[in-house]
């Protein structure tokens, strides 16, 4: 077993204040207050299905828009995942999941590659303009994954294969990503060192 895979990051800007703690080897315990209720719901689902313990305390200029706060939290989660992974020795590296939520169906594939790349397709036309919960635009879903993927240096493919209700689509995306990430960061006792022929990720 490697050393404890945790991270604690504080980030302060003129637009947001974030205090985040993360444990990759947790059980999905959460304490989340982002000041954006639907995002709280998505992060709770993410933690539950990734088995990552996650504490997020955040405030921001949501009177202007939730954009700054949500994006900044995505950045910090990405950095925390990268920090907690350390040298990535012994991890499975790849993960994939296919997750339904009623009529919605989403596939997510994750490679802890060290190369930031997001392919995000299939959201229905108009999804990006829909206000979920009256305050969280559908466009923010992709934006979270962009911020997280870049700052955690992951390769991520998320494909919405079907769906009608914006809440269901968004939630299925977060759950599918969580399940794929859970597989990818898991420690595999058969993996010796870094799981790459290059010897580095």
**DSSP result, 108-165:** EEEE--SS-EEEEE-PPTTGGG-EETTTEETHHHHHHHHHHHHHHT-EEEEEEEE-S-
In DSSP terms, which residues pair with 157 in a beta bridge? 109, 119
| CATH number (domain holding residue 18) | 3.30.230.40
In this structure, how many other beta carbons lie within 10 angstroms of the beta carbon of residue 31? Answer: 12
- Identify whether 58 is part of a domain: yes
Question: What pLDDT was estimated at residue 48?
Answer: 98
- Identify whether 195 is part of a domain: no
114-138: b (≥16 Cβ within 10 Å) or e: bebebebebbeeebeebebeeebbb
Question: What pLDDT was estimated at residue 33?
Answer: 98
Rounded Cα gap, residues 50 and 60, in angstroms:
26
Question: What pLDDT was estimated at residue 1?
Answer: 43
- Identify whether 165 is part of a domain: yes
- Identify whether 61 is part of a domain: yes
- Identify whether 201 is part of a domain: no
- Identify whether 82 is part of a domain: yes
Question: What pLDDT was estimated at residue 31?
Answer: 98
pLDDT digits (tens, 9 = 90+) for 21-73: 999 999 999 999 999 999 999 999 999 999 999 999 999 999 989 999 999 99
- With a cut of 50, which residues of the chain have pLDDT below it? 1-2
Estimate to the nearest angstrom the gap between the alpha carbon of 46 and the chain centroid: 7
Domain residue limits at 115: 6-185
Question: What pLDDT was estimated at residue 134?
Answer: 85
- Identify whether 41 is part of a domain: yes
How many domains does the chain fold into?
1
Taking the CA atoms of residue 107, residue 118, residue 148 and residue 139 in that order, the dihedral angle to the nearest 10 degrees is: -80
Question: What pLDDT was estimated at residue 37?
Answer: 96
- Identify whether 194 is part of a domain: no
């Amino acid at each position: 077993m490697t050393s404890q895979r945790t991270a604690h990051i504080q980030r302060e800007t003129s637009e947001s204040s974030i205090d985040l703690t993360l444990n990759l080897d947790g059980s999905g315990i959460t304490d989340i207050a982002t000041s954006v209720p639907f995002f709280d719901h998505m992060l709770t689902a993410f933690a539950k299905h990734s088995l990552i313990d996650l504490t997020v305390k955040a405030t921001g200029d949501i009177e202007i828009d939730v954009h700054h706060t949500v994006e900044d939290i995505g950045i910090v989660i990405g950095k925390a995942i990268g920090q907690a992974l350390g040298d990535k020795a012994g991890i499975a590296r790849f993960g994939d999941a296919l997750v339904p939520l009623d009529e919605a169906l989403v596939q997510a594939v994750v490679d802890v590659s060290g190369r930031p790349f997001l392919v995000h397709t299939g959201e229905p036309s108009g999804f990006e303009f829909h206000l979920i919960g009256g305050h969280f635009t559908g466009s923010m879903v992709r934006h979270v994954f962009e911020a997280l993927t870049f700052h955690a240096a992951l390769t991520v493919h998320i494909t919405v294969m079907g769906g009608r209700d914006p809440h269901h689509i968004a939630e299925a995306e977060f759950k599918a990503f969580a399940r794929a990430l859970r597989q990818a960061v898991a420690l595999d006792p058969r993996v010796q060192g870094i799981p790459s022929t290059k010897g580095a990720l």
